[in-house]
Amino acid sequence: MNVIETAIPGVYIIEPQVFGDARGYFFESYNQKEFDQKVMPVRFVQDNESCSSYGVLRGLHFQKGEHSQSKLVRVVKGKVLDVAVDIRKGSPTFGKYVSVELTEDNHRMFFIPRGFAHGFSVLSESAVFQYKCDNLYCPQSEGAIAWDDPELAIDWHIPASQVLLSEKDKRHPTLSQADYLFDYQTSLY
């Protein structure tokens, strides 16, 4: 696997080695030993999958406190814009974000460590999105930031008029209004 550093330390784009021929392709989508060596030692405990249509935007979500999660995300069908926002108070990159297009053709994966809000927008007719988490989901520990926070100014690559949100995702606070953020000085692992 090829691990690409981003503008925010700890957030990585991962490109697997894809072997293709007339029959199709093969690639190793995850290898614990290699991930531990090249990214960081993380023990994933839950796999999730969603299917969404064009314009769906999910995010910006995170899990609070002891339930915080690292995620390793990828697209198996379609195309999304995936975004990680640093929400660690005191971090040199607080309020900054990294975005990457994940597609069924580029096979890229995106690693989002604990202390970040995460979201994605669907750019294709539909998309099947898979992600690994290193902590189990806890509904009581949900946290979120508004997808359209003007201070973040995220370009989701779809017109705002075509964004499709859940009722919950319509009501999140901006980063400056959030009642819970992570502390950069506190270890999350």
Give the tokens for residue 1: 């696997």
Q: Would you call 131 a catalytic residue per the annotation?
A: yes
- Other C-beta atoms lying within 10 Å of the C-beta of residue 39: 18
Catalytic residue among 12, 61, 97, 107: 61
Q: Would you call 107 a catalytic residue per the annotation?
A: no
Q: What is the three-class DSSP state of 138?
A: coil
Catalytic residue among 12, 107, 131, 172: 131
Concatenated DSSP letters of 19-69: EEETTEEEE----HHHHHHHT------EEEEEEEETTBEEEEEEE-GGG--
Give the strand pairing for 88-89 and 182-183. Answer: parallel
Residues tagged active-site: 61, 131
